[in-house]
Chains A and B, each alone.
Chain A
């Protein structure tokens, strides 16, 4: 059980938040075409999972916009934004914002993801929503970055994510010489 803050009030978060080195938990989410989307859909690519409380909350939309930029900057990487919003709401936002890179996915069909990714808010009045998080997964489906954002009004650290996802290429002395 973790705790995050909202306007100075602690909010309980249930489930097990992933740790660096964990194998990424499988999931089944729903895309804006109302199709099921499993983690395995993205096998062989790097994955960024941004979890937000709602795309219709200003902080959620801000994060989605930033992740659209992140998606443009990383190759072989799929950037997912996951929330409880219906796929219809996500569709509306994609059209409104002109998102091309980021994929908005919904937990409409079940709340397993909330628990399996340790982002399940359990305190009323926000229970049912997920708390903000940013997770990086490598091409082998291992977690390389995991930030449970400590305050619901704050954004995650995108730079730390990018650094974890694409480590600097070590110089090979024999090639340099």
Chain B
């Protein structure tokens, strides 16, 4: 159980958020073609997990775009944008904004990911969606860096996240 804030109000977040040095838990999410996509699908690559409440909110849109820009400069690294949005919404957003290089993944089949990665908002108006967080994994799925963004309305610390891979 963690706690973040939404506009200054405390919001409980369920699950254990991964810490630096942890082994990443396996997960299965849903890709844009509705197929299952697991952590193992990206074996051998560095992974930047960009987790946020919804692709249909302005702050989230900004974060996806900025991460996409940065990801294109990193070697052997994939950026996974993870939210509770359906793949239909995620695909529509990426198409509209020209973000085809980013892999979007949906928690539409279940909320196990949100609990396993300690980002399941458990109270307040955002209950049911993911908290804003960044988790960086190396090629062996070890956690190099993680940030559970303390205030949901703020953006993650991109520079620190990307520095973890350099």
Contact = CB atoms under 8 A, between A and B. Distances in A.
Interface of A: 30, 33-35, 54, 56-57, 84-86, 88-89, 91-92, 108-110, 124-129
Given A86-B89, A125-B36, 13 more contacts: A56-B86, A56-B92, A85-B88, A86-B86, A88-B54, A88-B57, A88-B85, A89-B56, A124-B36, A125-B33, A125-B35, A126-B34, A127-B109
Interface residues of B, number: 25
B126 A129 contact: no
Q: Can you list the 4 inter-chain pairs with the closest CB atoms, starting with the nearest?
A: A88-B56, A56-B88, A128-B109, A125-B34
Contacts of B36: 124-125
Contacts of A129: 86, 108
B128 interface: yes
A141 B88 CA distance: 33
A108 B84 contact: yes
Nearest to A86: B54
A86 B90 CA distance: 11
B128 A54 contact: no
17 contacts: A33-B125, A54-B88, A84-B108, A85-B85, A85-B86, A86-B56, A86-B85, A86-B86, A88-B53, A88-B55, A108-B84, A108-B128, A110-B128, A125-B34, A125-B35, A129-B86, A129-B108
